[in-house]
Structure 1
């Protein structure tokens, strides 16, 4: 990765999601008085995604959390271009080109283009939905009516949260996934069983271990076909099968790609001089993990966006935060910190998983790789410190000891 030149005067940010908007705001907060131009593909001001699958979908609110108030950008001299599409990046010339052929020069550039929802072949039409944008959420919400037959393809975080919202609004929900349990890839079998029981207890019909094979529109409506030969009638279909990083601009410009995203070093610099990447697209050479880490969660976009601002101004600081995300489903709330491999790491439970009030830890070679708190909010600081320091502990200590006593006393995370 090429080290930046000092003292930029023109900074362009392609992508006005949480990462890009956080970077723009932090640049001003750090005293940068040069030009900042922020390009966003949507017509809405920059906003955060988590409320879309929670309060917005539930009908508790009509707006997401805005990254900054509406007047912030003009008040702070940030040129915000909404509904804008950058079609070309020319690293050698330090320019980008928009869909109208206008060129913009830069001294530093941040790519924060985020992700798009993954789709399925043949699944299209007004009754098929994905959930990635505010407009997606508002449109889907109108379809989640009392008695509606909702088929959700995918039992990951989005699928589970949509199922929760749909049931709260009185819809009949069937959730399909090729895995035997919801969230199994992230949480493993034992914790996946907790979420299976959570959804079945709230009236969701789970169809584990099957895939969709296609869909038809018939006289009486849409039918979703499964690979076991069965069919499901649906008024609404939600496709929640992951996201695709928007790397096309970087790839066409010749930037190095890795792990499904844009390759960046520890300081979030790409392979091209004066170009950085943050958020969903950043395949990060994380200083504390083996191999590249690419995270598609809210906190990563927010924190990387804020962190990269200093490096856009000439710094070289490595980004070293642990992944973090949270989820709310029915009466269950949880937070996850770290990065575990449930197929490889040892699971330790503290509390009663059946009661849905517990902590889960994952250990590798005696060190904590990740922690999850479920309906338990008294240990957040301790969990962050234990994961952040990769504390060396025994399973017995995790189940019985005061967690604060397990944090290394000289650790920067210790409180």
Structure 2
């Protein structure tokens, strides 16, 4: 792949959220002179997703406030916008993308940035009062529904579920939060910190149902509207609103007939390339991160931007430099902001080295094998930055413990 070819090639970007927009911007900023086409399934101009379950849901931001860029920004970059029409197929032989309106567009380089879709339970789709929250329209609908609800059941004890539950309580609803793990956020942060998060929610008045008994057995429905939730334990909870936050699925259905490898996302090499001239970025991309020597798919806002910049540089430079970041994410739980650096999933040990959530300051470090692989902190910005540096240098665990 020649440098000149990368500079002049037609680039089609499928997915118009943070990853797609950042890729287009990075290409132009680095001198790309060829055509760029940005395709998005939603009718809205690109918007930011993290505020949907936080400030927008709470009513602190309006829909117009979450726009990623000014309305004329992409036109000023000479990027062709095609919003409100999703991709339905990819033909790598003819190098064409087919869209929902029946049209096709050709590419020389393709960036897949279609993100994820909220996981749903098909049998619940026709029941009134049952929602998911992934898109702007869904967030606005959930916001309105919470304001009119007396009791809300949130199904899912991960980051999205806990954030929604916190906002729903703030808006005045009674809230029941059900998560199948023994503690909230357990799969991400571990049991010890998950129990502290659970304590925070309980202290504010949220009713928790955790463990296997929190699995939903069935809904009670009257006249097409949900009226309650029955759990596997036999416990029944009345509810006029149910919000599903049971995870997500990579948006790859449009790629099923292509030659790409799809394993929980678009399978990529360490440089984020899926095939010759095809790359994936953001939530949909699964790539090998050599820093942690593991295949990962990261659903974090900052990763979408950083990965998009990396891919833009690969398109222009024509090399295969690996993408080896220290992932970063944050979560708002009431007034508590939890921040994390590293790859925490599958960790072997977590050690809280300072404080707890109740004190408003907490630092925890994570071990995988014999290596420091992550840090989580609340109210400790300077220490968090220092520990991030130790994660980046793959510090030996015993050395990390001695520092604590």
SS state at 1:237 partner = strand
**Contact 1:146–1:169 (Cα < 8 Å) also in 2:** no
Where does the alignment leave 5 or more consecutive residues of structure 2 unmatched?
A: none
Cα displacement (A) at 1:10: 0.6
**Contact 1:89–1:253 (Cα < 8 Å) also in 2:** yes
Aligned to 2:371: 367
Alignment of 1:107-126 (within 5 A): 107-124=108-125, 125-126=127-128
Aligned to 1:409: none
**Contact 1:152–1:238 (Cα < 8 Å) also in 2:** yes
Cα 1:223/1:310, change in 2 over 3 Å: same
Where does the alignment leave 5 or more consecutive residues of structure 1 unmatched?
A: 400-415
Aligned to 1:304: 307
Aligned to 2:80: 79
Aligned to 2:228: 223
Cα displacement (A) at 1:343: 5.6
CA RMSD of aligned residues (A): 2.0
Aligned to 2:323: 319
Of Structure 1 and Structure 2, the greater helix share is in 2
Q: Distance in 1 between matches of 2:324 and 2:392?
A: 9
Cα 1:201/1:4, change in 2 over 3 Å: farther
Q: Distance in 1 between matches of 2:2 and 2:246?
A: 37
Q: Deviations over 1:133-171 (max 9, x none)?
A: 111111111122276200000010000000110111111
Cα displacement (A) at 1:186: 1.0
Q: Distance in 2 between matches of 1:3 and 1:113?
A: 27
Aligned to 2:382: 378
SS state at 1:27 partner = helix
Cα displacement (A) at 1:216: 2.3
Cα displacement (A) at 1:351: 2.5
SS state at 2:298 partner = coil
Aligned to 1:411: none
Q: Distance in 1 between matches of 2:378 and 2:56?
A: 22
Cα 1:377/1:104, change in 2 over 3 Å: same
**Contact 1:150–1:172 (Cα < 8 Å) also in 2:** yes
Answering whether residue 239 of structure 2 is matched by residue 238 of structure 1, we say: no
Scaled by the length of structure 2, the TM-score of the pair is 0.93
Cα 1:251/1:242, change in 2 over 3 Å: same
Indicate which of 140, 143, 147 corresponds to 1:141.
143
Aligned to 1:184: 186
SS state at 1:379 partner = helix
Answering whether residue 279 of structure 2 is matched by residue 276 of structure 1, we say: yes
Aligned to 1:403: none
Q: Which moved more, 1:3-12 or 1:28-37?
A: 3-12
Indicate which of 170, 173, 176 corresponds to 1:171.
173
Alignment of 1:194-213 (within 5 A): 194-209=196-211, 210-213=214-217
Q: Deviations over 1:315-355 (max 9, x none)?
A: 32211112211011112111111112466224242224542
Q: Distance in 1 between matches of 2:119 and 2:129?
A: 16
Q: Distance in 2 between matches of 1:354 and 1:397?
A: 25
Q: Distance in 2 between matches of 1:235 and 1:152?
A: 11
Cα 1:273/1:228, change in 2 over 3 Å: same
Q: Distance in 2 between matches of 1:343 and 1:295?
A: 16
SS state at 2:289 partner = coil
**Contact 1:334–1:372 (Cα < 8 Å) also in 2:** yes
Q: Distance in 1 between matches of 2:103 and 2:226?
A: 46
SS state at 2:5 partner = coil
Cα displacement (A) at 1:123: 2.1
Aligned to 1:402: none
Q: Which moved more, 1:305-314 or 1:166-175?
A: 305-314
Cα 1:119/1:200, change in 2 over 3 Å: same
Q: Which moved more, 1:70-79 or 1:145-154?
A: 145-154
Cα displacement (A) at 1:291: 3.1
Answering whether residue 250 of structure 2 is matched by residue 250 of structure 1, we say: no
**Contact 1:366–1:394 (Cα < 8 Å) also in 2:** no
Q: Distance in 1 between matches of 2:256 and 2:148?
A: 45
Q: Distance in 1 between matches of 2:199 and 2:176?
A: 14
Cα displacement (A) at 1:365: 4.6
Scaled by the length of structure 1, the TM-score of the pair is 0.90
**Contact 2:54–2:163 (Cα < 8 Å) also in 1:** yes
Q: How many residues align?
A: 396
